[in-house]
Chains A and B, each alone.
Chain A
Amino acid sequence: MILLSYGTAIIIFAIGLYTLLFRRNLFKVVIALALMEGGVLLLITSLGYIPHGVPALLPLMGQQAVNPLPQSFTLTAIVIGASDIALALAYIIKIYRHYGTVDVDQIRGLRG
């Protein structure tokens, strides 16, 4: 079960990487970054799982909780990723206002 989660995470990451490398639309580039981030975060969250663990909320009632440390990392990383993506979208708006396109090939400085 947990292997399925790891596998999904890496497949999402790979889809993101493929999109980033081979798509020429700026929005798709940002979606790719968001997908890659989602993949890594899914991986981190799955790391803390232990079989039959309950969510790490007090009181635990004598049950075994999952490791809360990766979840706190995920929260931090989500905030970071959100700021990255917000900034990227703001730049796309600026670029679109100037060039009237979001195609990488038609924007002078973004080729290569």
Chain B
Amino acid sequence: MNPVFAVLLPLVTAFLIPLGFIFFRKALPALVFFGASLSSLGGFFVALLGWSGISVVMGGWTPELGIALQVDALSASFLVLTSLGFPLALLSSAEWLGWNSWRFYVIFFLSWASTNGILVAGDIFNLFVFFEVFSVSAYLLVSFPASSWQAVEASFKYLVFGTLGALFLLLGISYTFMATEQLNMGILKDLFPAIPPPTLAVIGGCLLGGLLVKCGTVPAHFWLPDAHSSARPPISALLSGVLVKAPLYALLRLGMLFFLPALPKFFPLLLFFGTLSLGVGHLMAIQQEQIKRMLAYSTVAQIGTILLGIACASSLGITASLYHVFTHMSSKMGLFLVAGIFLEDRQVHKISDMRGFLRHRPFLVAAFALFAASLAGIPPLSGFQSKWLLLLACAEKGYLVPAIFLLGGTVISAAYYLKALGAFCSPAETPPPHHRTHRVTQGAVAFLVAFSLVLALLPWLPFTKEFLLTLSSGRFFP
């Protein structure tokens, strides 16, 4: 199966939605769900068939000129992530936003198509183009519906930072083209070691800077807590769970492909920014009064955690990072969905006012506790296992300070999740004014609980450990 279907199916759905709204308004939900199931299945199929590696060039051109698409084990695992995360967010947002706002669904499917596009792009200019479609749709998702001033401001801030990152990315890409006259990743891989070291340092700096701004690592993290906390709950879940992983994928891909053989200095820098994000993210999260801002700062810290594994640049480190990407997706999506329901029930923003949920919504509090425990790293859960793998990877490379930060972060995150759980469990004078039951969102939370439990079981099965380690054993570009 051609990897282009992973991009094409959501893109076609995005274009059909306005037509569906004009001509068959009654059939709009059916169209959206049909498109979403097709896109999700298409993503899974491309991931499955591309596991051992596919690479095609569109339009009958040579690889130097044409649009190259490739899928390998790394992009396939991220495709699984998008094919799971987007439908869950879609189901939940259909419940929150209803069917009158067809524009939302157009933006949503554009975002889906461009995220898949980043994952299957085989040349760096297409990577940039998909990044920009991805970013514009993400800005629009943050400020949807544009009635909240906070969301519009957050979106503007996101836009300024995102465009800054994109321009550095474009500068890096143009320097690469200047040095090699090539853009195809497979061809560039062999040309990179021949680039003179000063040029290579500039290219590495531009690409690293651009992608770090897009990820929201610490010196440029100011947009992330605003954007992730002021969007609607299912969109926050999507932003934190899935969309933030796309720049991380690009860092992993470009780092392993270009800079591992040619510029080893790239990785200590990544390690520095990862450790910084990890520390600052956790320290800021514990000071937050609002629950969604706390979760958003925790995302900053988790991005740092994932960067640590990439910076180790070993097979163990990459495996740990990939595993943590999935752990963070399942847990953080669930946390944002539960927090969204609680916020709507109580209509307050401060954590200390969100009392009395244990009586009212016991299952959701239990789910929140499970996700929080997983992210904080309580032993049998998947968060513990990914952090353990990360610690092993850091120890293997002799990175002592990041390992200590990782352990300290575990303690701090346990403290702030316990603060939230303590508020939920403490008795309230008045029962929360119950607004809506949110059956679909609760179903999504139940699915995420099951998914995190399955993730936690994964490394215990004898064959999957081997399987996890082969994910990253240098099989980039077959």
Residues of chain A whose beta carbon lies under 8 Å from any beta carbon of chain B: 13, 20, 26, 29, 33, 36-37, 40, 43-44, 47, 67, 69-70, 73, 76-77, 80, 83-84, 87-88, 91-92, 94-95, 98, 107-110, 112
Does the CB pair A33–B163 fall under 8 Å?
yes
Does the CB pair B178–A47 fall under 8 Å?
yes
A95 to B143: give the CA distance in the assembly, Å. Answer: 12
Does the CB pair B171–A13 fall under 8 Å?
yes
From residue A85, how far is it (CB to closest CB) to chain B in Å?
Answer: 8
A77 to B226: give the CA distance in the assembly, Å. Answer: 28
Closest-by-CB residue of A relative to B126 is A76
Does the CB pair A43–B174 fall under 8 Å?
yes
Does the CB pair B160–A40 fall under 8 Å?
no
Does the CB pair B156–A110 fall under 8 Å?
yes
Does the CB pair B177–A95 fall under 8 Å?
no
Most B C-beta atoms less than 10 A away, residue of A29, A40, A107? A40
Does B125 reach chain A (CB closer than 8 Å)?
yes
Residues of A within 8 A of B164 (CB): 20, 33, 36
From residue A50, how far is it (CB to closest CB) to chain B in Å?
Answer: 11
Question: Known contacts A40-B174, A47-B178, A73-B125: does B132 contact A80 (CB below 8 Å)?
Answer: yes
Size of the B side of the interface (Cβ < 8 Å), in residues, is 33
Q: Choose among A20, A47, A98 the residue that contacts B149 (Cβ–Cβ < 8 A).
A: A98
Residues of chain B whose beta carbon lies under 8 Å from any beta carbon of chain A: 65, 125, 128-129, 132, 135-136, 139-140, 143, 146, 149-150, 152-157, 159-160, 163-164, 166-167, 170-171, 174, 177-178, 181, 222, 226
Question: Known contacts A33-B163, A80-B132, A112-B222: does B174 contact A47 (CB below 8 Å)?
Answer: yes
Residues of A within 8 A of B129 (CB): 76, 80
From residue A69, how far is it (CB to closest CB) to chain B in Å?
Answer: 7
Does the CB pair A40–B171 fall under 8 Å?
yes
Given A13-B171, A40-B171, 19 more A-B residue pairs with CB atoms under 8 Å apart are A20-B160, A20-B164, A26-B156, A33-B164, A70-B174, A73-B125, A77-B170, A88-B156, A91-B152, A94-B146, A94-B152, A95-B152, A95-B156, A107-B153, A109-B149, A109-B150, A109-B153, A109-B226, A110-B153
Question: Known contacts A47-B177, A70-B177: does B171 contact A92 (CB below 8 Å)?
Answer: no
Does the CB pair A109–B157 fall under 8 Å?
yes
Does the CB pair A69–B155 fall under 8 Å?
no
Residues of A within 8 A of B153 (CB): 95, 107-110
Does the CB pair A87–B159 fall under 8 Å?
yes
Q: Which 4 A-B pairs have the closest CB atoms?
A: A109-B153, A91-B156, A80-B132, A44-B174
Residues of A within 8 A of B157 (CB): 109-110
